[in-house]
Amino acid sequence: MSLITPLRDERTLVLKLRDAITALIDEQGLKPGDQLPTEAELTRKFQISRPALREALKLMEQDGAIYVKHGKGRFVSAAAALQVERPITCFESVTDMLHKSGYRPTNRVLSISEEVASDEVREALRLEQGARVIRLERLRMQGDEVLVYCLDYIPRSVIPDRLYDIDWSGSVLDLLERHGSRPRMSTAVATSTLLPNDVSERNDLHDFGPAFLITETTFTPTGIPVIFAKDYHRGSRFSFSFVRK
């Protein structure tokens, strides 16, 4: 298996390698206490440099998936055997999340505008006073049912194109990638709430019910914030899981 693919940054390569080693543990049926292949074996298998491999292994050690016995090697920990179906810590687009949950969603754009960032948005995106942002409001739907109400704020400086020249019904992450600013990680807060009253009134969403709100700021690999998002997931349609260690 080779990991030699066009990549934008070393961080992405290390993350891909970590995931590949995790998959290898599963493929080979390694149990807690079993020894990982040596560094030499892994570098040959994945055709990767030893420094990148060590960074990936360090991440796995920090995650608790493997542990080191000095002088003996690296071993699979009990945590590596713990699987969660919908990990809340997984960074992915809303579209990808919906696909993995078995939905085939369509996107409906409710509004797109340019405005001065509010204090909340400005703080999340580390913008100066008076900075302008793109405000994108969308529904993610399965047939006629609304699954997620999404509100995204993007610094105007990141996407300088005319708003009406852009197809906003597609992937925002892919759009940011075309502008050299695709996010790879995020910080988020999850809360249980209801849709704001004005949103319910404007969009006839009175039957939406309790929502699982994820308020998230996404970052490029160099730590630049590029999206501040509020995604209201229909509570009756989603559940998330996590491992406690």
User: Which of 112, 150, 154, 151 lies closest to 133, judged by CA?
Assistant: 154
What does the pLDDT read at residue 85? 56
User: In this structure, what token pair is assigned to residue 88?
Assistant: 């809340």
Number of domains comprising the chain:
2
Let me know if residue 2 belongs to a domain. no
Task: Examine the domain organization and report whether 197 and 77 are in the same domain.
Answer: no
Which CATH number fits the domain that encloses residue 66?
A: 1.10.10.10
Region for residue 228 given its phi and psi (left: phi exceeds 0; alpha: psi -120 to 50; beta: otherwise): beta
Summarised one tens digit per residue, pLDDT across range 173-183 is 999 999 999 99
Residues 160 and 114 placed together within one structural domain of the fold: yes
Same domain, yes or no, for 131 and 192? yes
Look at the block and give the residue holding tokens 């996407």: 159
241 assigned to some structural domain: no
Instruction: From 81, 107, 139, give the residue that closes a domain.
Output: 81
> Is 89 domain-assigned?
no
Pull the structure tokens for residue 9.
């940054």
- Please tell me whether residues 38 and 99 are part of one structural domain: no
At residue 86, the pLDDT reads 57
**Are 81 and 32 a contacting pair, CB within 8 Å?**
yes
Residues 99 and 75 in one domain: no
Do residue 125 and residue 197 come from a single domain? Answer: yes
Residue 68: DSSP 8-state = E
- Say which CATH number the domain at 213 has: 3.40.1410.10
Helix (H) or strand (E) holding 56: helix 50-63
Which segments of 142-209 does DSSP mark as H helices, in order?
172-178, 197-203
Report how far residue 70's alpha carbon sits from residue 2's, in angstroms, rounded to the nearest whole number: 28
Residues contacting 14, CB < 8 A, separation 6+: 52, 55, 56, 59
User: How high is the pLDDT of residue 1?
Assistant: 46
Quote the domain boundaries for residue 34.
10-81
Which among 194, 215, 87 has a CA at the least distance from the CA of 151? 215
Q: Are residues 73 and 102 in the same domain?
A: no
Q: What is the dihedral of CA 197, 203, 208, 211, to 10 degrees?
A: -60
141 and 188: one domain?
Answer: yes
Distances (CA, A) of 240 to 5, 23, 94, 104: 32, 21, 13, 19
pLDDT of residue 239: 79
**CA dihedral in degrees (145, 183, 171, 86; nearest 10)?**
-40
Which residues of the chain, if any, have pLDDT below 50? Answer: 1-10
Amino acid present at 87: P
Last residue of a domain, one of 59, 81, 103: 81
